[in-house]
Amino acid sequence: MDSSYPRPLKLSGYLDPFTSFMSTPCIGIEFPDVDLVDWLEAPNSDGIIRDLAILIARRGVVFFRAQKNLTGELQKELMRRLGQLSRRPRENGLYRHPFSQLLGDVDPEISAFSSPATKDNCSKETTPMNSSRKSFRQSMDICRRTLTALKGIVKLSGRTKDLPKLEIPGKRQSGRLEWQSDITFEQNPPDFSSLRMTNLPKNGGDTLWASGYGLYETLPESAKLLLENLTATHSQPVLKVMAEEKKNKVFKGPRGSPNNIGTAMEAVHPLICTHPVTGWRSVFAAGTDILRDSRDDEIGFMLNRVVINEVSANTSQIILNRLMSMMTDNHEIQVRFQWKSPSDIGTFCLIFKILTKTLKYLG
């Protein structure tokens, strides 16, 4: 625990009467029988939501099943109150993605996205898996949903040379590059988020989360000392190009926080940070999301770029690759959630957890 931070918030027992079980020893907990609307409307609702915020901060992600009564507005209310009751600055509010207008979102604080159909090697029957994520913390998956628009903007402007590229094997051998962190290009990234599924595939389409706490605890003490003195620049090259080409459709802010303004799409964060609710140390959000060129699947544009500032570019890449491998190769710090019912939902701590999804599923 970092002694320079305020004392950690403590649970008050409001969640004790409700049945729950830990998904894994390290990350995740599920309340199988709770209706979140009942919690939002309960006489002791503030106490319940405050304890839920603390629990999310501790466990990384909290799951609820079949929230059929939870409307988009109520889900936004839940996200708003989670922050308000757990040390979010008073001036901060719901997050709005800088390209919510361009992406066609009816409500700029609500993002709905669909995963493209992915052919399974064992079957020809596949259909898109639709999901809805309604929160003030928008996922980088928004960029996937605008793949065609992004390629058109970048290619027509002749700006492809401005984007960092990665060589990607033609055949999918690993899901390593699918792990991602959201909105780290902002000066003050979001705290809580939620992911809700509305239409389920017959099989597959699970979502995985990894614990930044767990990753930090696996580091040797010497590595912790080294990394705690480092900072990293997080940027979104694709979004920056979009901002320059579509100036009239960029929401310049403030986006959730008064500090999230402008179109730089770049911010500096510590590599190791302390959670303001728990006081626990964590590896700050890591992960790379790739925008593939459909004409050449071996090349992808890097959506989320992270570079350590105090070391050479080569050393930065070595450190980040090692952290990524430690995260993706260690199932003990991961949880895999199977969506079973419409409106299943995962509420999670956005920056201190890294997530991915399985791309193969049957309609």
Confidence (pLDDT) at 238? 78
- Report residue 113 as tokens: 């996205």
Element counts in the chain: helices (H) and strands (E) = 9, 20
142 touches 99 (CB < 8 A): yes
Distance CA 153, CA 115 (A): 21
Cα distance between residue 59 and residue 28, in whole Å: 5
Predicted confidence at residue 133, as pLDDT, reads: 34
pLDDT at 125: 27
Strands 29-31 and 61-64: parallel
Question: What would the two tokens of residue 30 be?
Answer: 């599920």
pLDDT tens for each residue of 141-169: 444 444 444 444 444 444 445 555 444 44
Q: How confident is the model at residue 4 (pLDDT cuts 50, 70, 90)?
A: low
- Prediction pTM value: 0.81
pLDDT of residue 180: 74
> What pLDDT, in 10s, does the model give residues 27-47?
999 999 999 999 999 999 999
What's residue 138's pLDDT?
A: 37
pLDDT tens-digit map of 309-340 = 999 989 998 998 899 889 888 999 999 999 99
Q: What's the confidence (pLDDT) of residue 263? A: 87
Residue with tokens 């991915």: 356
Cis amide linkage into residue 98, ω under 30° from 0: no
Interval 240-293: pLDDT, tens: 787 777 777 888 889 989 999 998 889 999 999 999 999 999 998 665 544 443
Q: What are the tokens at 92?
A: 């901060």
For residues 220 and 313, give the distance between their C-alpha atoms in angstroms, rounded to a whole number. 23
Q: Could you tell me which residue, 231 or 356, shows the higher pLDDT?
A: 231
Residue 110 near residue 76, CB atoms below 8 Å: yes
CB 189 within 8 A of CB 92: no
β strands within 140-238, DSSP E: 165-167, 192-196, 203-204, 207-211, 231-235
Query: Largest alpha-carbon pair distance within the chain?
Result: 59
